[in-house]
Amino acid sequence: MRINALFITVGLLLMAISPGVCAEDVVLQYWMWDPDPTIQELEQAIIAEFEETHPGIKIEMTAIASSDYWTKMAAMAASKQLPDVFAMSSGFVEEFAVQGALLDLTQYAEKDFNKDDYFWGIMDKSFDVEGKIYAVPFAWVGSVLYYNKTYFDEAELAYPDWGWTWDDFLNAAKALTKDTDGDGNTDVWGTAVSGRYSVNDGWLYQNNADYLDPPQRRFVKTDELVETVTFLSELVHTHKVAPQPKQYDLDSGGRKLRVLFGEGQIAMVPEGSWRVDFFRNAAPMEDEWDIAPIPRGPSWQEDTMYAWGDGLAIPVTTEYPEQAWEFLKFLVEDRPAEQYYPGKVPFSKKEAESEAWKDKGLSPEHKTVILEFGKNPDNNVTTQFWGQWRGWGSAEQSGISALLDDLYNGNIGVEEFVEKAEKVTNRVLKRAYK
């Protein structure tokens, strides 16, 4: 009877092992936030290559829509049940690190990555928490200015370029705003604004402004901040070269804004570099569009791109830290440029500067603007509860995002925006930094 029981037990164990996985294999759980079939196919191809070159390690991938991803990950972080390797946002890294949920990757990264070969500033700005690295970017993105070349040609205007000032931008926006059918309503807007971070915040950094004082981790009213918010508000209310967000229901996800640009109803729009894919495919504009840096404000000191990394992290609870690091490193080092989502930049300079990533012959013609502009990245994302005070993720339509939309919709003025933004931001940050 004991022998039979032993055979039954062994049989059940063998049945429990999934096909292609041996009993001695290490199985790593890998979670990502993009369920798009194309992206999943690319990830599976990389996983297959890793498993072939790393016998004894198997990867099980789970893809979850970003709208649900962080709710699940926050719960798993709190209960210390995170997967072995997972996609990490700069908006949550400090929160998870302070909870003790993330493995300190500083020694791994400094040992295996040569700083000169990577966009190290992206890692510092996105995933450094109190001098320690808690995630490594496999890619990064930032805010750039998209513009309709056809409209510029028709108006005989020079295209946006390095050194463009806010005055240059405003003059172009005025010339490009048109009532094409003479019915008294604007049919083509020079530009558009909304409270969305990728649409709004690039203007701050090109004017030496920010919402926060980093050492104090508090919202601070500065002349540069007021100057920036005033300029953006006046695009709508004074110069009337941009619509109020409510006119087109410009949701915080940015869908309506990019659709309007793709349909030719907006001539210039600041947005994330990952929108390159949308304008190539979902709203194909052929060679009618290009990109440029966000223009420089009156208080500009140096070209600074609002940029952040799409990272990978390892939980402190993983049973296989060395194997998890090998997989993470592979995802960063061995992902060819062809397998990157258009507009997302490889962390590796070699891949980012390759002909494959530059996509010559495809719009945008000046795609390398992203590389040049991103050499000096900045952001205010890496605070605890960033999503709550800025208005992102599960907190969309709240915080600064909602207040900016109120400003652009004419519900409040600049001073009231600053006053309310200070209260809501510091109320959130005081809970984190007592």
pLDDT tens sequence for the chain (434 residues): 433 443 334 343 333 444 445 557 999 999 998 877 878 888 899 999 999 999 999 999 999 988 789 999 999 999 999 999 999 999 999 999 999 999 999 999 999 999 999 999 999 999 999 999 999 999 999 999 999 999 999 999 999 999 999 999 999 999 999 999 999 999 999 999 999 999 999 999 999 999 999 888 999 999 999 999 999 999 999 999 999 999 988 765 567 889 999 999 999 999 999 999 899 988 888 889 999 999 999 999 999 999 999 999 999 999 999 999 999 999 999 888 888 888 999 999 999 999 999 998 899 999 999 999 999 999 988 899 999 999 987 777 899 999 999 999 999 999 999 999 999 999 999 999 97
**Contact, 370 vs 358, CB < 8 A?**
no
pLDDT at 252 (0 to 100)? 56
Backbone angles phi, psi at 426, to 5 degrees: -70, -30
Largest CA distance in the chain: 93
Domains and their CATH numbers in the chain: 20-141+307-377 (3.40.190.10), 143-304+384-432 (3.40.190.10)
Please report where in the chains the tokens 């690039």 appear, as a residue.
Answer: 202
- DSSP for 296-313 reads B-TT--S--EEEEEEEEE
Cα–Cα nearest to 68, from 32, 28, 30: 32
Q: Please list, residue by residue across 302-332, b when 16 or more beta carbons sit within 10 angstroms of its beta carbon and e when fewer do.
A: ebbbbbbbbbbbbbbbbebbebbbbbbbbbb
pTM for the predicted model, two decimal places? 0.91
pLDDT at 22 (0 to 100)? 58
pLDDT at 1 (0 to 100)? 40
**Extended beta strands in 90-189, E state:** 128-129, 132-133, 136-148
Rounded to whole angstroms, the Cα distance separating 277 from 340 reads: 11
Rounded to whole angstroms, the Cα distance separating 301 from 283 reads: 36
**Cα 286 → chain centroid:** 25
- DSSP for 172-200 reads HHHHH-B-TTSSSS-SBBS----S-HHHH
Rounded to whole angstroms, the Cα distance separating 28 from 111 reads: 22
First-residue to last-residue Cα distance in the chain? 64
